[in-house]
Structure 1
Amino acid sequence: MTDLSAFPITKKWPARHPDRLQLYSLPTPNGVKVAIMLEETGLPYEAHKVDFATHDQTSPAFLSLNPNNKIPAIIDPDGPGGKPLPLFESGAILVYLAEKTGQFLPADPAARYQAIQWLMFQMGGVGPMFGQVGFFHKFAGREYEDKRPRDRYAHESRRLLGVLEQQLARQRWIAGDDYTIADIATFPWVNNLVGFYDAGELVGIQDFSHVQAALERFRERPAVARGLKIPA
């Protein structure tokens, strides 16, 4: 049996199945990326809830795995060379899992970098901008009388949706006709924007028919339906 006792995080979140990949997360847009990827690939894993309400993410145990105190993070007991691998940052985890399983990242070098390019588009643009819309539209920022910050982020989010719309007008998925980690990274954020943040009207989601159609295809995938709820 794999021994994960060298990782302090396993003292706070004991591994019942230490031979399985350990996921430390919460069902936020960034968190469910990795849960969806694990569900899609079929890799055995064990999910641990990092509860923001009790500030689990700033606990010494969690910081020992991710000093940036953000979810998700993983420990793969069967990492490179058969040694356990700790890893944080959702984009890095998606690339790692894609390469580990040979799934959802094209083997062709040119197509591979196209998919990674769109993954970076999500990490650097979609996530931060949509998240700011959520803050100013749904959370504490909605109380601000000055709506210029909200409108700035809503305008930029609309621009990013326009970029996605152009891509999806000519192909089934963001990086091509095949479903990749670019989609697994991006659509949880689109789903959150129009769902949990209730900002569809604010950003004019009705103007982006191809984005909406792709979001529906994404939601219809069984692994996505499961992953959006993990960890419970």
Structure 2
Amino acid sequence: MVLFRTLASLMTLTSVSLDPAKAETWKIAAPEWPPYASATLAKNGKAIAALRNALAKAGIDLKVEFMPWTRAQTVAGSPDYTGYFPAWPEEVLDGFTASDPVAWSMVGIAQRSDTTIEWSTLEDLFLNYRVGFVKTYVYPSDMQRQIYRYYDPDDGAENEQDLARVLAAGRVDVALTDPIVMLHTAQDLSLDGIDETVTILQRHPLVLAFTKHGNYEDKLRLLNGLLSENSITETACCRTTQPTSEVQPSD
């Protein structure tokens, strides 16, 4: 059945050729979000590599332009772009449509190594501690509700780098983030004091937000067919605390 769906998807996009001389190129906008996406990483990061590998099965080249997150969402609306990636499903804006999961990220809590955090629910966490977040992100719904309840969205950090600095400086007690991204960012910025034992709340899919222009529906079907060959069922990860070395994002 998976093979049938994949072949059917390939046939719907008549403009795609497996002839290297006639290879199609998809151009996407991407944020700097290591280790999932970055111009400085091998293969441009784990998520970009997963998307590129999937498209290569259909002879499609991937061109990635890195830029700030909000700009990526804006410029990707141009007909020149296939869309933006990676994004959580909640971050797919009007005028775009989400692919199936291309890769997986983590959503959880990072904290300072000199801070003891005790909580049983997200509401407890927000009620009793200063929570840092990135204001341009759209978090999973249960987390986003608490942000709206306890903070003005503009209270958030500008980006992941600012969030790491705020946490390292002790201006917040915890940071709501992908802890893998937080630790990677802290290392890049040579920041001390952030605990490498992190709390994972759930695994969360990373999708390609397709720009609704031209033959985007054909492209969507094609990509989803390619992804179905290695599909992973989404699972929520119960609250668990682990050293970062034991928490690896799925490709």
Smaller-chain TM-score range? 0.3 to 0.5
Normalising by structure 1, we get a TM-score of 0.36
Q: Which has the higher strand share?
A: 2
Structure having greater relative contact order (Cα 8 Å, sep ≥ 6): 2
The structure having more radius of gyration, on CA atoms, is 2
Q: Which has the higher helix share?
A: 1
Normalising by structure 2, we get a TM-score of 0.34
